[in-house]
Amino acid sequence: MREQILTYLSQNVPSARVNHVLRVEQTAIELADIYDIDPEEAATAGLMHDLAKCFQPQRLLHMARKEGLILDEVLSANPHLLHADVSAIVARDTFGVKDEQVLNAIANHTLGRPEMSLLSCIVFLADTLEPGRGDTASLQALRKISRESIDKAVYLTCDYTIKKLLGSPRLIHPRIIATRNNFLIKCKC
């Protein structure tokens, strides 16, 4: 199936995005090894996390509505945030993925989710922390923490994302804040 997914990606996203996906896949495998999670599940979720990344906003909205997803005002105003949920739909409907853990990891990779599974945490972190995202001191610190405490890494990665968004005129979805708060409480930092 990996070759089918790579063919799909090469036909639906730019090559730079394919390279990002491959780095997320590798980072997810590395984190899975540290946290004793099935590396094949991590690889699959990492490889499929951006299947809908380049879908047009109307297509994302249409697929989300058809699936019965709840569209709040932030998602309606910024349909790109739906690419994670829609990527899980594509994984299920186009590639026949039935594993709910994998589908949830794909769906949760952008905004996270309070109480998300360890696999979801791994893919969430891999998407932000893969080496192509940069080599700043902040990212280096997050990468180190991601190998020591998954809960702390999730909360701090949420902080990192929120800080970046605060420096731009972009909306912040409340789910990333809820994710941050949940994992801050869990890690008792």
pLDDT in tens, 131-179: 999 999 999 999 999 999 999 999 999 999 999 999 999 999 999 999 9
Q: Please, are residues 111 and 81 in contact by the beta-carbon 8 Å criterion?
A: yes
Q: Please, are residues 52 and 69 in contact by the beta-carbon 8 Å criterion?
A: no
HSE-CB at 106 with a 13 A cutoff on CA atoms is: 27
Closest CA to 52 of 90, 25, 78, 26: 90
Residue 187 has pLDDT above 90, yes or no: no
Query: What's the pLDDT at 75?
Result: 97
- The pTM assigned to this predicted structure is 0.96
Q: Which CATH architecture has domain 2-187?
A: Orthogonal Bundle (1.10)
Residue 117 has pLDDT above 70, yes or no: yes
Query: What's the pLDDT at 188?
Result: 77
User: What are the residue ranges spanned by the domains of the chain?
Assistant: 2-187
pLDDT single digits (tens) 8-44: 999 999 999 999 999 999 999 999 999 999 999 999 9
Query: What's the pLDDT at 20?
Result: 97
pLDDT single digits (tens) 40-85: 999 999 999 999 999 999 999 999 999 999 999 999 999 999 999 9
Query: What's the pLDDT at 189?
Result: 66
Burial 90-113 (b: 16+ CB within 10 A, else e): bbbeebebebebbbbbbbbbbbbb
Give the separation between CA 84 and CA 92, rounded to whole angstroms. Answer: 13
Query: What's the pLDDT at 48?
Result: 98
Structure letter (DSSP) for residue 169: T
Average pLDDT for 113-127:
97
